[in-house]
Each structure stands twice: as structure tokens, then as C-alpha cells.
Structure 1
Amino acid sequence: MTDAPALPRLNEPAPDFDAPTTHGRRTLADYRGKWLVLFSHPADFTPTCTTEFIAFAERADRFAALNCELLGLSIDSHYAHIAWMRNIEEKFSVHIPFPIIADLSMAVASAYGMIQPGASDTAAVRATFVIDPEGVLRAMAYYPMSNGRSVDEFLRLLEALQTSDAHKVATPEGWKPGEMVIVPPPATAEAAEARMGEPYDVTDWYFARRAL
């Protein structure tokens, strides 16, 4: 009996991969120095997945402006991927500009925990992974087969992560650029006392916000 592969964990190196795609072979190292959104879908030529790919394609330039590449994946052949991409362009007038991994061996899907036996043993669920320029997994989300994800939420999350990294702050629920950010709470009683007099929007010692 073999052990199940360990699932990826936040703030640790993302699982490496070397896989065939619709743009040739891709490895995790190819994306060094850039952010990467790696996302899986259950199958080509399915309606919900089609809406998601259209949304990713329509926002590809916005991801690129944030130094972020997109990389799709499903357990279909690259021939099926190519046919589906061509069909989306023909039927919906949307060009798919990013590569799609053909993960017939399920090696990448297994490494990233995209195979959920409760949903399917032969298809990847709707999983999304945000990987930073150092190859570290910073965020992940899993969706059921029946419901499409919000691509705008992953754009928002990417901007929030980059803001937190750049300014050493946290962001509140639903934060968008231009809104106030959260100042990390003090870690000592002395700092907590001092916080009340600091030039922030202070509600209490543990809850303070500021503009960027």
C-alpha cells in the first residue's frame, strides 16, 4: 500500500511540475520571477468550464499587468485542449492566450490535490493556486464540480497579496486598491498602549487602519 501524496501547503514551495501543454512543455521554474495562477477544470467541452476559461481569457491582460501568468489544467489530451480552444474562439469569439496542461497521467493534479475522490476519481475539481515569484504557494481554493469560480476574486486576491508584501499590511474583507488597509496589531502590552496614540484610524488597540 503506497502513501497518498502530501497535499500542497500555504507558504511552502509549490509542487514542481514538468508537463506538456498547448504551448509546449512547461515547468514551474519557467515562471520564476513572476506570479502564477494555476487552475484546473474537470473537462474540456463542458459549459461551466467554458465560462471560466472565457473569463480568464478576457482578464488575461489584467493578470499580465500584475506580473502574473495563467496556466490551465485538466485530465484531457492536448488534442482535446486545442480543439476546445478553437471551438471557444469560433463560437464565442474569445481567444485563449494561455497554455493548458494536458495531465493525462494525473501527475500534476495529484501533486496539487486536484483529484478529490468524493467528487471524481478521473477528473480534476475546480482548484486554483496562486504561486509567487519565488515559487511559494500563497493561496489556494477548491470549488465543486457544479459551480464556477469567480475570476475577479482571484484578481482581487492577487492585488491584495502584492499589497501586503509591498507594505507589510493586511487587507480587510473584500479589499480593493485605494481602500484602507489594516495595520498589524501590536505584540506587546507597551505597544498596545502606544497604538492608541498613533496616527492611524484606530478603533481599538488591535484594530487600526491606514491609507496607503
Structure 2
Amino acid sequence: MPLAINSAAPDFKAHSTHGMIWFHNWIGDAWCVLFSHPKDFTPVCTTEMGVMARMKPEFERRGVKIIGLSLDKVEDHNRWSEDIRTATGHALNYPLIGDVDLRVAKLYDMLPADADDTEARTAMDNATARTLFVIGPDKKIKLTLSYPMTTGRDFNEVLRAIDSLQLTARQQLATPANWKHGENVVIASSVSDEEARERFPDGWDAPVPYLRLVEMPA
């Protein structure tokens, strides 16, 4: 079955630029972003790797660990890291998993189980290995985003989504379209009006009865 929201994130052990990673142990009690790349030395992925290095403090401020995966050897990753620094001004400061045998990519349903792992594979052969997963401390998948090779990912959107996920994990709230941290939120449908009046004594705005908007709690 394909991995879906609230599926258990598969555990694995793999080599990375930071040594051996036992994935669930490495996550610990944190949140995690795992994002994949079809091949080293590819142009769009090079920009993404540098942007994530620059934005790492923003993820850490939210208690989120970041880890990359690319379908090449760790030795290739180390050489690619120099290009990433040259191109973006930011060197890798998080682990990058080597997945030359495609094991993790298959485990996370990014490639078919019968895909061969020959060195002749090109980036186009691995094009579907362009998925980002947000994983919670409970080791379950909270969000997935898949992009084509020609479209660079917007990691500000990933941060926005994490702000929503972390807020709604703590309280029976939801976030509306285009929501940003600090804006009004939605009282979840699972909360009755009676319960909502206890929690939000100042009331709420309801353009329609089932859409109850309140200020984001501090």
C-alpha cells in the first residue's frame, strides 16, 4: 500500500554524510523533514540543498530535524557538497543519505519495487524520487509533497505547513487556506458549540455555521 498521511514512517539504517543513521533513533522525540533527490550534481536539487542549509535554524527553532536523501554514494555526496557551497554560499550542515541501492527510495514508495539499481540509472530514471515527508515525533507521516525535477521546492511553504501541523497537534484547531502563523484559526468540527464557548468565551466569527474562526491562541 502507498504511504499516506498517518502511515507509520518506515524505519531504516543507512550510510550518510554524518555517518550511519538509524532513522527512528536519529529522529528521537523531534519532528523531521526527509526530502529526496534523484541524483547528485543536478541543477534544481543543488539549489534546494543550499536553501535548506541556510534555513536550517528556522527548522531547528520549531524542533524539526532535516535530512536529505539522494540516489548516489556518500562519497559522491561529499563532492557534491562543494558544488552546493559554491553555487549557493551554504555548505551542507545536515545529513545526506546515500541510497545508491534504491533501498530507502523503494521503502518510501518513491520508486517501484522492481527498479534496478545499476549505476547506469540517470536522474530521469529516478525522477519520482522528489518527495518530501514531514514526520512527527510519533514516527507517523504528517505531510507529503512531490515535485517534478524542473520545479524547485518552496521550503517556506514547508515551514508554514509545519507551523500548522504543530499547532493543530496540540489543540482541536485547524488552519484555513493561505494561513500564516499568527492569523485566525478554525475551531475543529469535532468541538461542539458548547465546548467552544467554554474554550473561547469571547466567541468567534462564523460566516457559515460550520466555519468558526477565532484568534490563534498564544
Q: TM-score, normalised by structure 2?
A: 0.85
Gaps (5+ residues) in structure 1?
Answer: 1-5
Partner of 2:120: none
1:206 maps to amino acid: Y
Identity of aligned residues (%): 34
2:11 maps to amino acid: D
- Is the partner of 1:59 in helix, strand or coil? helix
Residue among 158, 168, 171 paired with 1:167: 171
- The answer to whether the aligner puts 1:36 opposite 2:40 as a matched pair is no
Q: 1:199 to 1:183 in 2, by over 3 A?
A: same
After superposition, the C-alpha distances for 1:36-79 in whole angstroms (9 at most, x for unaligned) are: 00000121111111111111111100000100011101110001
Deviation at 1:125, TM superposition (A): 2.6
After superposition, the C-alpha distances for 1:91-128 in whole angstroms (9 at most, x for unaligned) are: 432121011010011111011122278x9544553100
Partner of 1:25: 20
Partner of 1:94: 90
Q: 1:10 to 1:130 in 2, by over 3 A?
A: same
Contact 2:50–2:85 under 8 Å retained in 1: no
Partner of 1:14: 9
Q: Give the total of aligned pairs.
A: 203
Deviation at 1:27, TM superposition (A): 1.8
After TM superposition, the structure 1 = structure 2 runs for residues 88-127 of structure 1, keeping only pairs within 5 Å, are 88-115=84-111, 120-127=124-131
CA distance in 2, matches of 1:67, 1:133: 10
Q: TM-score, normalised by structure 1?
A: 0.87
CA RMSD between the two structures: 2.4
Q: 1:166 to 1:55 in 2, by over 3 A?
A: same
Partner of 2:204: 200
The list of structure 1 runs, each at least 4 consecutive aligned residues, that deviate by more than 4 angstroms after superposition, is none
Contact 1:35–1:131 under 8 Å retained in 2: yes
After TM superposition, the structure 1 = structure 2 runs for residues 106-185 of structure 1, keeping only pairs within 5 Å, are 106-115=102-111, 120-185=124-189
- Is the partner of 1:185 in helix, strand or coil? coil
- The answer to whether the aligner puts 1:72 opposite 2:46 as a matched pair is no
- Is the partner of 2:175 in helix, strand or coil? coil
CA distance in 2, matches of 1:123, 1:19: 21
Contact 2:128–2:148 under 8 Å retained in 1: no
2:16 maps to amino acid: T
CA distance in 2, matches of 1:51, 1:179: 30
Deviation at 1:135, TM superposition (A): 0.6
- Is the partner of 2:174 in helix, strand or coil? coil
Deviation at 1:165, TM superposition (A): 1.1
CA distance in 2, matches of 1:134, 1:100: 22
- Is the partner of 1:73 in helix, strand or coil? strand
